[in-house]
């Protein structure tokens, strides 16, 4: 199946009892058994739920994987991956990444004896400088949040394989429509399903997709044992959202391209971070591993004044000032005080995340309205 057909049909069958074309919401906590241990594959909804099963199978198909697992949030999915490790193990991570990922790594798991190295991965060979006998996992995010750096998944996959390391990729910004890390050598692909996969800003969820049976079994054990599982209503909403993922992503990419070029030519805008520009340092890698460049953009205003950034954010209308991204509506954010506030200022600035940086999630509205909105807000500076 091609992608659009997968989004609508993969892993999904009409309900066998009624013929309902939409997957039912199995709003139940438990399941009747004929005899102890004699059941129809379902015992308790933390362990398995038919609505969740359909979603997990659909997500696996979209990522060209064999096994999908859903969690109550993206951080719940990250939590499960790091729980594969033991005290004393080490992780090599992207240095430009979502603030929540940095927080759970440094404030939660580091306390249990897991060490994290945050490095630039733009040159994959640099990773080998940090590999030692304790290294167990490489964690990459691409495009990175919020600086829009691109990491060569295929090259890092080769490094991971050479040293027999697990390799996980946060694919939230790209989605499976634009990029499939498992095809490029990753062992695990993780999503904040809250974002583009759900697509309508009405669900919080996370997911992991893998190909290896042993890895899938280990993650499923953690999923059940630790209990960070989503409810059937949320799974239903994501299944509904995914049916239009390919259509939405096409429009996000179209609008993102226009907004990126609009900002680049605007007299009050300084730097624009978007991998579709030929001047982007990782543009060729993005062309190689992505099908398009997405709808996420970061930019700064000339003078790099925090007050100017706040003025713009306070005067946008169609770009709503809010956490998150990937919904049909356009959002704007101030990473330094919102999504990345948990990262120390000195660490943020090492990767170029200044207090004046603005991040946009370009929605699927009429792009002329979005440009007019930005232009009016920038005129206040």
Is 195 an annotated catalytic residue?
A: yes
Cβ burial, residue 154 (10 Å; 0-12/13-18/19+): middle
Residue carrying structure tokens 């199978």: 57
Please give the backbone phi and psi of residue 143, each rounded to the nearest 5 degrees, phi first. -60, 150
Say whether the peptide bond before residue 146 is cis (omega within 30 degrees of 0).
yes
pLDDT tens figures, 145-160:
999 999 999 999 999 9
Per the annotation, the verdict on 98 as an active-site residue is yes
Give me the catalytic one of 31, 42, 46, 355. 46
HEC string of 170-228 equals ECCCCHHHHCCHHHHCCCEEEEECCCCCCCCCCCCCEEEEECCHHHHHHHHHHHHHHCC
What domains, with CATH codes, occur in the chain? 3-240 (3.40.640.10), 245-379 (3.90.1150.10)
Give the pLDDT score at 7: 97
Q: 157-172, pLDDT tens digit by residue?
A: 999 999 999 999 999 9
Helices (H), the chain: 3-9, 50-62, 74-82, 99-103, 153-162, 175-178, 213-226, 232-242, 245-264, 283-289, 306-315, 345-350, 367-378
Q: Mean pLDDT over all residues of the chain?
A: 97
- Gap between the Cα atoms of 355 and 335, Å rounded: 8
Tell me the per-residue pLDDT of 20-72, one tens digit each, with 9 for 90 and over.
999 999 999 999 999 998 999 999 999 999 999 999 999 999 999 999 999 99
Q: Dig out the tokens for 117 from the structure.
A: 């190295």
* Spans of the chain below 70 pLDDT: none
Given 79, 96, 170, 234, the catalytic residue: 170
Name the active-site residue from 83, 195, 257, 348: 195
Catalytic entry in 79, 83, 96, 98 = 98
pLDDT single digits (tens) 203-225: 999 999 999 999 999 999 999 99
Check residue 174 and give its pLDDT: 98
């Amino acid at each position: 199946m091609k992608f659009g057909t997968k989004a609508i049909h993969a892993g999904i069958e009409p309900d066998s009892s009624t013929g309902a074309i939409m997957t039912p919401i199995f709003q139940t906590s438990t399941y009747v058994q004929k005899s102890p241990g004699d059941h129809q594959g379902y015992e308790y909804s933390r362990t398995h739920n038919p609505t969740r099963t359909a979603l997990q199978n659909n997500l696996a198909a979209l990522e060209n994987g064999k096994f999908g697992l859903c969690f109550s949030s993206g951080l719940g999915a990250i939590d499960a991956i790091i729980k594969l490790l033991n005290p004393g193990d080490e992780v090599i991570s992207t240095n430009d990444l979502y603030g929540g990922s940095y927080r759970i790594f440094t404030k939660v798991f580091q306390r249990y004896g897991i060490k994290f190295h945050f490095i630039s991965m733009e040159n994959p060979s640099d990773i080998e400088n940090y590999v030692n006998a304790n290294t167990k996992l490489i964690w990459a995010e691409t495009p990175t949040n919020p600086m829009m750096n691109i990491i060569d998944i295929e090259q890092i996959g080769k490094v991971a394989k050479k040293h027999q390391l697990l390799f996980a990729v946060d694919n939230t910004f790209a989605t499976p429509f634009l990029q499939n890390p498992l095809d490029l050598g990753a062992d695990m692909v993780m999503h904040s399903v809250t974002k583009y996969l759900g697509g309508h800003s009405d669900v919080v969820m996370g997911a992991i997709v893998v190909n290896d049976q042993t890895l899938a079994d280990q993650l499923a054990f953690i999923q059940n044992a630790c209990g960070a599982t989503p409810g059937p209503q949320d799974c239903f909403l994501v299944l509904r959202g995914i049916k239009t993922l390919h259509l939405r992503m096409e429009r996000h990419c179209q609008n993102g391209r226009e907004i990126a070029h609009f900002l680049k030519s605007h007299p009050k805008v300084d730097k624009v971070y978007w991998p579709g520009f030929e001047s982007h340092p990782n543009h060729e890698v993005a062309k190689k591993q992505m099908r398009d460049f997405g709808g996420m953009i970061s930019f700064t205003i000339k003078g790099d004044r925090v007050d100017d950034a706040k003025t713009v954010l306070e005067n946008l209308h169609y770009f709503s000032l809010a956490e998150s991204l990937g919904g049909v509506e356009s959002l704007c954010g101030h990473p330094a005080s919102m999504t990345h506030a948990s990262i120390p200022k000195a660490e943020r600035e090492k990767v170029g995340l200044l207090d004046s940086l603005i991040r946009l999630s370009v929605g699927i509205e009429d792009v002329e309205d979005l440009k007019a909105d930005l232009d009016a807000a920038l005129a206040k500076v």
